[in-house]
Chains A and B, each alone.
Chain A
Amino acid sequence: MLIELALRNLARTKVRSTLAMIGIVIGVMAISAIGIFGESLKAVVLENFKDLANEVIITPSYTHGYSSIDERTVQKIEKLPYSSEVIPVKSSSTLIRFKDKRTYVKVYGMEIDKIRNLFKLEKGSYRGCLIGGRIADFFKLRVGSKIEISDEKFRIGGILREEARFDINPNFALIISIRDFDRVFGGDYKIVIVRVKDLDKIDEFKEAVERTINRRDKVVSVFEMKTIIERIESAFAKVTTFLMAIASVSLLVAGISILNIMLISTMERIREIGLMRAIGAYRETILKIFLTEALILGLIGSVVGGVLSFVSGYIIDLLILKTTKYVFQLSSLAYVFIGISFGIATALISALYPAWKASRLEPIEALRYE
């Protein structure tokens, strides 16, 4: 019956209750929608890197005087445990020509059969020289076009799909086979990309590198992509938290509004409170009645806000990210849950003082209140 009583008390001041509830709806909606957007944004960015998580990049230890990785070291790396694939890469910068245009590009040399594991093609096949999309645009190249690399002619076999990597940027690069690279440029390897079998074995792999290759001198440095991805994730989490904190200001305002209407309600119902105390209600019962009213306001406002946050999250994602596929992912649901919890907590915390004040009223003073 206390819930019934609380509901009817709220219905008694419909406009006031509705306005307070709208405050909670807006607050919860703002927090959850921003949470959904932040999570979607992170997902969009990380989607590009999702295949890189189990990659380890081995570079020469420049600080110890090494500028390349020799054949023997690469062979040692290939023999290390935990790796599923080892892709040694040579690189150089050079001037390339096509018709009357010329530009400097990065040229990578790697084994042809391993290229297909790293890069996807936009057009053509993996035979011959592969070229980044941006350079293809610059030179207006097509599959089959012939370009000049250090006075040697190469046929374009394929055009690489645009992609984001931390170690090799294929968009402005040329990729040729190791054999061609050795013939034109020569030299040792600049980078070795290792795919580790299992994400959990990355640390073990790093230890193995230290134990075998860097035993006497620090020949190579090891970077794991996982760390970079984790840093991106943590940076996005911080931004999302910050935005949610800003959004929670609206919830704070809603809380103050609830505090206000509850205080007014306490004063308006002071004699009812006195009566209830006179006929046998404990102080806690009065406290419960007021908190129940706030809980109902908070619950309805938060759930409505939670549902609406999907709508606004959907709209924000559509407008800013141009995709809505991340709106309904599990982590978005978590933010809606957080928003709803904050909404309910705000309503309850705001009602604590008025409810406590109501419960502390002496029955005789409350009954005599004019």
Chain B
Amino acid sequence: MIELIDVTKVYRVGTHEVFALKNVNLRIEKGEFVAVMGPSGSGKSTLLYLIGCLDKPTSGRVLIDGLDTSKLSDRELTELRREKIGFIFQQYYLIPTLTALENVELPMVFKGIPRAERERRAEELLSIVGLWEKKDRKPNELSGGEQQRVAIARALANEPSILLCDEPTGNLDSKSGEVVMETIKRLNEDKGVTVVLVTHNPIVANYAHRIIKIRDGVIC
């Protein structure tokens, strides 16, 4: 379960302060599929990154499965991200020197899983996203949609309970976008993964159980 209690995030730009989020209260249940919508600069990505423990709130608390993230050290936050959270970004962020399989293995390398075990699991995940036969290709040998599916497989490497998606179809054509969204939906339905998805796109948002609209750092 994800819980945001009175969360405010302020960015300092030069001498003045910009409120990215203002006193946000939000609760996302385990297994929910939530879409966060809002115009550019509304604070939706900030919300996602706070949930993903990539950033810390200026005030308020973010609780992941009841754990207050503001009280955790950098190392503990890293471990939390590694164990519980999978990220999918608009730009995929695959490591260009590694093959599809190795990219999927990477989070398991950081966790210290033995080679044989992580290779087996990475192949399994690539099969789930339908890319097993392209496991030895480098990112630049894959299409945008395929790269994003590799990124999804990578996000699932350490069996996270939460999947955070930042405009996952933003760089894809509608057909590839659909494949990606179907994959995410299936993961939510079959494996009970909690999905929080940030998007502009109402078609993408419609995959969710619940749509949260955000404007000027406030949930409407």
Report which A residues bind B (CB closer than 8 A). Answer: 1-2, 4-5, 8-9, 11-12, 271-272, 274-283, 285, 362-364, 367
Contact = CB atoms under 8 A, between A and B. Distances in A.
A46 B14 CA distance: 71
A280 B97 contact: no
Given A279-B82, A279-B106, A364 B54 contact: yes
A275 B93 contact: yes
A274 B81 CA distance: 13
Interface string B101-142: 010011101110001000000000000000000000000000
Contacts of B49: 364
Given A278-B81, A279-B154, A282-B75, A363 B54 contact: yes
Shortest 4 CB-CB contacts between residues of A and residues of B: A280-B82, A8-B97, A275-B93, A280-B110
Contacts of A362: 55
A8 B110 contact: no
Given A1-B109, A2-B109, A367-B54, A280 B95 contact: no
A280 B54 contact: no
A270 B189 CA distance: 35
Nearest to A283: B74
Contact of A1 (B81, B93, B105): B105
B117 to A, nearest CB: 13
B41 interface: no
Contacts of B111: 280
A275 B54 contact: no
A145 to B, nearest CB: 84
Interface in B86-102: 87, 89, 91, 93, 95-98, 102
A271 B106 CA distance: 15
B110 A276 contact: yes
A285 B49 CA distance: 22
Given A1-B102, A364-B55, A367-B54, A279 B95 contact: no
Interface in B31-90: 49, 52, 54-55, 74-75, 78-79, 81-83, 87, 89
Given A1-B109, A275-B89, A367-B93, 6 more contacts: A8-B97, A279-B82, A279-B87, A280-B110, A285-B110, A362-B55
B194 interface: no
The binding surface of chain B is classed by DSSP as: helix
Interface of B: 49, 52, 54-55, 74-75, 78-79, 81-83, 87, 89, 91, 93, 95-98, 102, 105-107, 109-111, 115, 154-155, 157-158
B70 to A, nearest CB: 15
Contacts of B55: 362, 364
A278 B87 contact: yes
Contact of A12 (B82, B87, B96, B154): B96
8 contacts: A5-B95, A8-B98, A271-B93, A278-B54, A279-B106, A282-B110, A364-B49, A364-B55
Contacts of B93: 271-272, 274-275, 367
Contacts of A279: 81-82, 87, 106-107, 110, 154-155, 157
B158 A280 contact: yes
A281 B97 contact: no
Q: Which of A8, A272, A278 has the largest number of chain B CB atoms within 10 A?
A: A278
Nearest to B102: A1
Nearest to B109: A1
Nearest to B86: A279
Contacts of B79: 280
A12 B97 CA distance: 7
B107 A280 contact: yes
Contacts of B54: 278, 363-364, 367
B163 to A, nearest CB: 12
A2 B109 CA distance: 8
A48 B78 CA distance: 68
B11 to A, nearest CB: 11
Contact of A280 (B81, B89, B105): B81
Contacts of B87: 278-279
Nearest to A281: B110
A235 B187 CA distance: 76
B78 A276 contact: no
A277 B54 CA distance: 9
Contacts of B157: 279
Contact of A277 (B78, B89, B96): B78
Given A1-B105, A1-B109, A282 B97 contact: no
Nearest to A366: B54
Contacts of A283: 74-75, 78
B97 A275 contact: no
Nearest to B157: A279
B95 A272 contact: yes
B17 to A, nearest CB: 18
A281 B110 CA distance: 5
A280 B98 CA distance: 17
Contacts of B89: 275, 367
A11 B98 CA distance: 12
Q: Which of B87, B97, B154 has the largest number of chain A CB atoms within 10 A?
A: B97
A277 B87 CA distance: 11
Contacts of B91: 271
A282 B106 CA distance: 13
